[in-house]
Structure 1
Amino acid sequence: MLFNSFAFLFGFLPVALALHALAARARPDWRLPLLVLLSLVFYGWWDVRFVPLLVVSIGLNWLTARRFGARGGRWLIPLAVAGNLALLALFKYAGLLADLAGLIPGLDPPRPSWALPLGISFFTFHHVMYLVDLRAGRAPPMDLTRYALYIAFFPQVLAGPLVRWSEILHQFDEAPYDRPDAWERIGRGFTLFGIGLAKKVFLGDPLASYANPVFQAAAEGRAVSVAEAWQGTLAFTFQIYFDFSGYTDMALGLALLFGIVLPQNFDTPYRATSLREFWRRWHMTLSRFLRDYLYVPLGGNRRGLAVQLGALFATMTLGGLWHGAGLTFVAWGAAHGIGLGLGVLWRRAGLPMPAALGWLLTFLFVTLTWVLFRAQSFEAALAMFKGLFGLAPAGHGFKWRAFVPAALVALAGPTAWAAVHRLKPRPALATALALLLVAALLRVGDDANFEFIYFQF
């Protein structure tokens, strides 16, 4: 059930909002259990076979946290974290490990073919964040209902944002419709959702028709011209931004409709003038997870330059692996680790970097490394790079007009989050939003839907 599907827009969402409003008014003690039930229904709509996996995962981790709170135990939390990561590895990386083992002469291990449960990376990381903070004494105990809602809340269970318990737990006990700004929140929620839907269907999805054929040609071993390579690469650069940030806007908007504020996840990342700044603006909740739960424990910047560079490289390489069970994702993460390390060395040397040059170098680096992220193999990536660097026929027909609206919004426009907090409620604004939603719904009804890119991670 995609956020941009009629089943969600005209089925699940209206029913969920009506039931939530009824519970909040008539039986406030039913509100949180109802949200848990709605979240499980939403998750099960994709594949009901994986609902027991989510439920058991929640139950076992909650029992672990409860036992730790009652009796302590030095190794209980580390074992639970290892178990969560092992489950993630089983579903997500068993095929990759089998392929790597097959490279050893004489070994021919079977390749698992089971389906990847949607959202497993995201709900696994939520478990890890809470358990690690609990062991450190930062997180309080939760009852089962609140823990289940923290893990499975439907706007963010499939593709984030990655929410810390401290950002959401206190909101569970609020009465969302009794707040003085309740209607303002609801209006912002609908506005965020509408803008996110428009970004997805009007900007992200059309760019897929420019990116997909080029990367498919590279995957099939066909030569990719210079014009095709740049068109496909730029198309994917903007497609992934509008696809993922559009999803995030929709998730944040949906959460507001149910009385929950989720953290911002994007802040105009393509305006960044350094790679470090890019990662502070792109998938911000993942960046801080990697920083706080991987980079800092590996030593961070507290143990000298060599340790810092090694921690950066390891963190980003593992971050690349998290994105997908393929060596191209590992290479993408490693490239960003090297790029961040070079940035550290540049700053340590006290060398100047004009803002315009910093932006150009950052945008080019991010754009070129997206090839590794999108390509299906190193051979396909090589074919793309040959075109990008002029080692292929020039080609023709570069459709630059297709990128003008996307570039203007990504580089010059404000984020949806900033816009909804700056704009004041007015009839003209409400009318414009209504027209935008109608146009987006007509686009959805035209069968021009693509699944969100980050659902595969």
Structure 2
Amino acid sequence: MLFNSHVFLLAFLPLAFGLHALVERFRPDWRLAVLVLLSLVFYGWWDIRFVPLMLASIGMNWLVMRAFLTRPVSWLIPLAIGANLLVLALFKYLNFFADLVSLLPGVTAPHLDWVLPLGISFFTFHHIMYLTDLRAGRAPAFGLVKYALYIAFFPQVLAGPLVRWSEIMHQFDERPYARPDAMERIGRGLILLVVGLSKKVLLSDPLSFQVNSVFEKAAAGSVVTMAEAWQATLGFTLQIYFDFSGYTDMALGIALLFGLVLPQNFDVPYRATSLRDFWRRWHMTLSRFLRDYLYIALGGNRRGLALQLAALFATMTLGGLWHGAGLTFVAWGAAHGLGLCAGVLWRRTGRHMPALLGWALTMSFVVLTWVLFRATSFEAALGLYKALFGQAPMGSLFRWRGLAVPAAIALIGPSAWVVVHRLPASRVLAVGLAILFTVIVLKIGDDANREFIYFQF
């Protein structure tokens, strides 16, 4: 079920919160098991066939953990990580590799139209983080229920944030509603939920109408005007930000309702003054994962400039492939890899770049590469790039008013996380949020019940 749906907001969430509160009050020893059960119900709501895969994934990785602690042979953890990646590849990348093989003359590889299990990339990366730290001696053993909740916790199982075991496992042992700040946490959780819903329903979804039509037009091979191309490119830049950061705000808010603090994932990324700064602000938990579990493993910046640049390029290219099984995603990741490499070389010159110029160059790069991310083919992307740079009719339907307010919010900030933790409690705020929530619920009942962009990854 979607966070932005009546069944979740008006049925599942209040029932789950009430059940959790009762269990926490009268049978706290059942609390984690109840959260696991609620998470499996939430996950199975999409497609009950995915639940056995989730349970098998949890069970097998937990058994690997137990086996490694009993007999720490060096090959067991790499084998388990390889098996996790193999399962991910079978569901997500099999047809992508088949298409690559089919590029060879005289070769036609068959497609297997398997349904992609939601959240498989995210829970696979959670397994990898834990197993890697276990092998390095940084992670302790956990019981099956705790480990299952770490993997399957419903606010973050579908689209993150990517949570390290060290950030959340210790919270499982707390009595969240016995804390002196329990009501404050619940209040801030509700605010984050409403703010995230507002981003999704009131900002992101309206942008999708003008964005999707233009990208579909380009995909069909039709001529896109310059005005349409800029409208769609700038629109998608804002749409994906409000869509994904809105989901994250909701995930963080819902987790707070159940007494768990998840890590922040966005920090006003469109104010970044360099590409490195952008990736420290955008999908921050993925950036940390790529840095700590891939870039450093490939050598990082410890073995000379050439290897550093190669590791950086490979990391971002693989990061692009993680986002989607398509060459346009690979190209998007590779472009960001080249951009980050250019940043490394620039910093080595010791020269200073004015912040305004750095912001302008960074935003131009980010906006233009979003075309590769959104386009369904290189042909569609090329058609849009031609239109963006004047190789198409000018057009006259640039709707700047629809972009102005979202752009101002995205650029001026601050992040929802900062705002929520600075707002003082007041009746006026409570009434305002209640009214806003009511408007959103009515809007959802009207026409706003769109899936989140990152669900496809």
Normalising by the residue count of structure 1, what TM-score does the alignment of the two structures yield? Answer: 0.99
Match of 1:427 in 2: 427
Q: Distance in 2 between matches of 1:135 and 1:321?
A: 26
How is 1:156-235 mapped onto 2 (pairs within 5 angstroms)?
Answer: 156-235=156-235
Partner of 1:310: 310
Query: Are 2:114 and 1:114 equivalent residues in the alignment?
Result: yes
Supply the distance in 1 between the matched residues of 2:188 and 2:281 (Cα, whole angstroms): 22
Match of 1:408 in 2: 408
Q: CA deviation at 1:447?
A: 2.2
Whether 1:272 and 2:282 are equivalent positions in the alignment is no
- 390-399 or 274-283, which deviates more: 390-399
- Mapped to 2, the partners of 1:418 and 1:356 lie a distance apart of 24
For 1:456, the aligned partner's letter is Q
Per the alignment, residue 6 of structure 2 pairs with 6
Query: 1:385-440 deviations in whole A, cap 9, x for unaligned?
Result: 00111111111110001011101110012111000110110111111111111111
* C-alpha distance after superposition, 1:330-383 (max 9, x if no partner): 000000000000011011011221100100110010000000000000000000
Give deviations 1:212-240, integer Å, cap 9, x for gaps: 00000000000111100000000000000
Matches of 1:186 and 1:370, distance apart in 2: 36
Give 1:5-404 correspondences, 5 Å limit: 5-404=5-404
Q: TM-score, normalised by structure 2?
A: 0.99
State the alpha-carbon separation in 2 of the partners of residues 390 and 448 from structure 1: 34
Q: SS of the residue aligned with 1:380?
A: helix
Which SS does the other structure have where 1:114 is aligned? Answer: coil
User: Which amino acid is the alignment partner of residue 308 of structure 1?
Assistant: Q
Seq. identity, %:
71
Q: Which amino acid aligns with 2:51?
A: V
Per the TM alignment, residue 9 of structure 1 is displaced from its structure 2 partner at its CA by 0.7
Matches of 2:98 and 2:318, distance apart in 1? 19
**Partner Cα distance (2:380, 2:69) in 1:** 51
1:33-76 per-position Cα deviation (integer Å, ceiling 9, x unaligned): 00000000000000000100000000000000011011111000
Range with bigger deviation, 444-453 or 358-367? 444-453
- Report the AA paired with residue 274 of structure 2: S
Match of residue 418 from structure 1: 418
AA aligned opposite 1:393: P
Aligned to 2:453: 453
Large movers: runs of 4+ above 6 Å? none
Aligned-partner Cα distance in 1 for 2:445–2:405: 22
Letter in 2 for 1:341: C
Structure 1 letter corresponding to 2:100: L
State how far apart, in whole Å, the 2-side matches of 1:145 and 1:448 are: 36
* 1:249 counterpart letter in structure 2: D
Alpha-carbon distance between aligned partners in 2 of 1:101 and 1:343, rounded to the nearest angstrom? 34
Q: Which amino acid aligns with 1:76?
A: L
Letter in 2 for 1:383: G
In 1: Cα distance, 2:77 partner to 2:155 partner: 27
Letter in 2 for 1:133: D
Q: Deviations over 1:89-141 (max 9, x none)?
A: 00000000111111112211211101100000000000000000000000010
**Number of residue pairs aligned between Structure 1 and Structure 2:** 457
1:237-295 per-residue CA deviation (whole Å, 9 max, x = no partner) reads 00000000000000000000000000000000000000000000000000000000000
Shift of 1:449: 1.8
Structure 1: gaps (5+ residues): none
Partner of 1:281: helix, strand, or coil? coil
- C-alpha distance in structure 1 between counterparts of 2:351 and 2:229, whole Å: 33
Question: Counterparts of 2:106 and 2:258 in 1: how far apart (Å)?
Answer: 56
Render the CA deviation track for 1:140-165: whole Å, top value 9, x for unaligned.
10000000000000000000000000
Aligned residue identity for 1:214? V
- In 2, the alpha carbon distance for the partners of 1:240 and 1:106 equals 39
Q: Any idea what SS the aligned residue of 2:398 has?
A: coil
User: In the TM superposition, what whole-angstrom CA distance separates every residue of 1:181-214 from its partner, at most 9, and x where no partner exists?
Assistant: 0000000000000000001000000000110000
- Alignment partners' CA distance in 2, 1:453 and 1:152: 20
Letter in 2 for 1:402: G
Letter matched to residue 290 of structure 1: L
Task: Return the alpha-carbon distance in structure 2 between the equivalents of residues 397 and 50 of structure 1.
Answer: 44
Please give the alpha-carbon distance, in whole angstroms, between the structure 1 residues aligned to 2:189 and 2:32.
19
Task: Quote the Cα distance in structure 1 between the aligned partners of 2:362 and 2:41.
Answer: 42
- Which residue identity does 1:434 align to in structure 2? A
Partner-residue secondary structure (3-state), 1:48: coil
AA aligned to 1:28 is P
| Cα distance in structure 2, aligned partners of 1:421 and 1:103 | 53
CA drift at 1:443: 1.0
CA distance in 1, matches of 2:196, 2:221: 36
